[in-house]
Amino acid sequence: MISDNPIYMVRRPEACKTLGKGRTAFYNDINNGLMTPGVAVTSRTVAWPSDEVSAILKARIAGKSEADLKELVQVLLEKREVEEV
């Protein structure tokens, strides 16, 4: 499937900057289900799909609750499993 907005992988510093989070807060969000976990890019590197970072940022801007963010994270994770390349 080809999208109008290309998806690219975002490393942690860029994801943190985009979301306005520090490193600890970013990882706390992952542990609390408020952010998707990273995707292994190599054996030592993880990154986040740009569309997921963008979706979470938009939800935060819209003032979504923590419960709504957790639900969004679940939807994004399910999308990872079924999406074709």
What number is the average pLDDT over the span 7-31?
97
Residue ranges of domains in the chain:
9-82
- 69 close to 60: Cβ distance less than 8 angstroms: yes
Residue 5 has pLDDT above 80, yes or no: no
Q: Side chain identity at 35, as an amino acid letter? A: M
Give the span between the Cα atoms of 46 and 57, in whole angstroms: 19
What is the predicted pLDDT for the residue at 81?
87
Q: In sequence order, what are the beta bridge partners of 9?
A: 49
* Cα dihedral 34→51→39→11 (10° resolution): -90
Question: At 26, is the pLDDT very low, low, confident or very high (cuts 50, 70, 90)?
Answer: very high
- Tell me the average pLDDT of the chain: 93
Give the domain 9-82 fold: Multidrug-efflux Transporter Regulator; Chain: A; Domain 2 (1.10.1660)
Summarize pLDDT for 54-77 with one digit per residue, the tens: 999 999 999 999 999 999 999 999
